[in-house]
Amino acid sequence: MAPNAAAGADTFPKLLIRNAHLYGARPAMRHKDLGIWQTWTWREVHEVVRAYAVGLHNLGVKRGETIAIVGGNRPKLYWSVMAAQVLGAIPVPVYADAVADELAFVLAHADVRFAAVEDQEQVDKIQSVMNRVPKLEMMFYDEKRGLRDYDHSKLRAMDDVIADGRKALADPAVAAWLDKEIESAKGSDPSIILYTSGTTGTSKGVVLTGEGSINAASDTVAFDKLTETDVALAYLPLAWVGDHYLNYAQGLVSGFCTACPESPDTAMADLREIGPSFYFAPPRTLELLLTRVMIRMEDAGLMKRKLFHYFIDVARRHGEHILNGEHVPLSGRLLYAIGNVLVYGPLKNVLGFSRVRVAYTAGEAVGPDLFSFYRSIGLNLKQLYGQTEAFLYLTAQPDGEIYSDTVGPACPNVDIRISENGEVQFKSPGMFSCYFKDAAKTAEVMTPDGYVKTGDAGFFDEKTGHLKIIDRTKDVGKLNDGTMFPPKYIENKLKFYPNIREAVALGDKHDFVTVMLNIDLTAVGSWAERNNVVYGSYQELAGHPLVYDILEKHVAEVNRSLAADKVMAGAQVKRFLILHKELDPDDGEITRTLKVRRGFIADRYAPLINALYDGSNEADISTEVTFEDGRKGTISARVKIRGMKTEPIPAMGKAA
């Protein structure tokens, strides 16, 4: 597709019409249902969305109103977004796993009158908070199972709404009215409201326009040469800007096919079946995939393990150089080719990466070792940097200019500058118009000359010209001796180890660095089975002395790595503990996009943090938890604390 193929289409409904004409018989969307892949062409999607829009209009959906979208990656929920935009209404996606309180906040704040939901679970969740969402009048549901006997006075099946719309469209006057509605829409109108993850407090509704979103997506479609022949798997949360950009916006701009997995639990298996050519995974997903691979290899026979580790070592030496088109000796190329036949090719096939032409990771900083592993086996994995207020992309790594410690140069038509205090600021085609109903916050994040403050600390690397992100500006601190303390940098080094699922580093305004760790239950549980370690719960396994021994070795290796860095040598970890529970978004400890809420954790785990710094060997803690059904409970534990030996600091480093 030509880079300017979206020219003239300033709203997504106009792009949908264009795609129905240009790519009518090509697949637009796939969904695995009951084990069978269903396919809809662009022409079919266009017809369904038109009928859906008319059905919604007949139920009272009006231009400028908001409609909530609650559920997983299912075609009818994407069509709900499209149908709302056809009418000039504003879709507001909500995280499917949001607890009732979070759901009620977004629906109330966004003044939602209608909600398109996935199934009975979401209907029940919304009905449980109806007293807090007084403006909500009606819900439309996709999955009918379990809802037959519900009161349908304020509840409709999406299929019925679409069927009603089809009947109405038989009238030429209705069809003409709908065409006029689409044509009269302006690109400057609000297209969607995406709520931020709320890392630093209450979520904010980011208002994005159709024209800005399409311009931004057009730039990156051209940048990565995406066309109607590409395929992407849509498994990211609908409410996250990444899904709306990577799958929805880029899909409509380029015409590629978006495939929806059967469920979140089958996403990785469905990935293998679809074999996407364009793929995105946050670092956490890449960590989980690598953990599973390493666990399976530990269970393999001796010869297979030796073969795997030998050729992975070959890949680490030569893989990235070959992928970048750099010179590699013939012997190295030959060994790598053999490894590709025996290890890398089969491994990529198992992971579903065999056909991936372009892959990205973003959302948080990725560990350099993790990044290098995937590139070394031949996956064209790149990094991008962005945020909801920018409609995702601010930077991206061009092919052939891939560095694990940078996020690339500014994307086409994006202007980035670094403020005097080191904060990254930007102007971009897709930048938001405002925070919904929050003029004060909008003004706070904007500079007088029109740049948006990201809240991230970074700088441009002199050698490559690429942007480097250090951490959130407010999170970068200093130890009492003046050593710089970027917690995310240390946490990412720790999370490279499959046994460590989450890490929270502490040290600002202290004499030394400490960390609180979460074990990965899958990886450590597999180790426990192989070594006959009996445990009855996550809490029991996390507190086991042998598990502490394993993680102590990982922390020691991180310390050795930090000691080799003259800037970070004084920020080695001196004490650590393993938390008695996993950090959970339902408990407010991490966001729905799995970012640590540091202020909340500092308050909740204050007794443990105090013990880390007062020399105690253990500490008692009681923590409130939220169960899946919304009930509250308490977990109490006595958490052990272990000290670490630190590595000698080079003379050019700062004293600890």
- The dihedrals phi and psi of 575, each to the nearest 5 degrees, come to -150, 145
Between the CA of residue 242 and those of 196, 589, 593, what are the distances in Å? 12, 22, 10
What SS3 string covers 435-498?
ECCCHHHHHHHECCCCCEEEEEEEEECCCCCCEEEEEECCCCEECCCCCEECHHHHHHHHHCCC
Give me the torsion for CA of 246, 249, 250, 252, rounded to 10°.
140
CATH architecture assigned to 392-473: Roll (2.30)
Degrees to nearest 5, angle at CA 640 with 639 and 643: 140
- DSSP state, residue 621: E
Taking the domain 477-643, which CATH number applies?
Answer: 3.30.300.30
Expressed in angstroms, the distance from the first to the final Cα of the chain is 57
Partners of 231 in beta bridges:
257
Degrees to nearest 5, angle at CA 432 with 430 and 434: 165
Name the amino acid, one letter, at 522: T
Q: Convert the pLDDT of each residue in 399-429 to its tens digit.
A: 989 988 889 999 999 999 999 888 999 999 9
Q: Convert the pLDDT of each residue in 223-271 to its tens digit.
A: 999 999 999 999 999 999 999 999 999 999 999 999 999 998 899 899 9
Query: Any idea where the domains of the chain sit in the sequence?
Result: 12-280, 282-379, 392-473, 477-643
Report the distance separating Cα 254 and Cα 225, nearest Å. 9
What pLDDT sits at residue 653? 41
Closest CA to 48 of 13, 24, 83, 85: 83
**Going edge to edge, which strands form the sheet with 90-94?**
90-94, 66-70, 114-117, 138-141, 155-157
Question: Is 12-280 a domain of CATH 3.40.50.12780?
Answer: yes
Mean pLDDT by 10 residues, the chain (656 residues): 60 97 97 95 98 97 96 97 98 91 93 96 94 94 95 95 97 96 95 82 89 96 96 95 96 97 92 95 87 84 93 94 91 96 95 95 79 94 94 93 90 94 93 96 96 91 88 84 88 86 94 96 91 93 96 95 84 96 90 84 95 95 81 91 89 45
Characterize the bridge pairing of strands 138-141 and 155-157. Answer: parallel
Q: Convert the pLDDT of each residue in 3-22 to its tens digit.
A: 445 657 899 999 999 999 99
What pLDDT sits at residue 650? 67
The DSSP string of 143-197 is --TT-TTS-GGGEEEHHHHHHHHHHHHTSHHHHHHHHHHHHH--TTSEEEEEE--
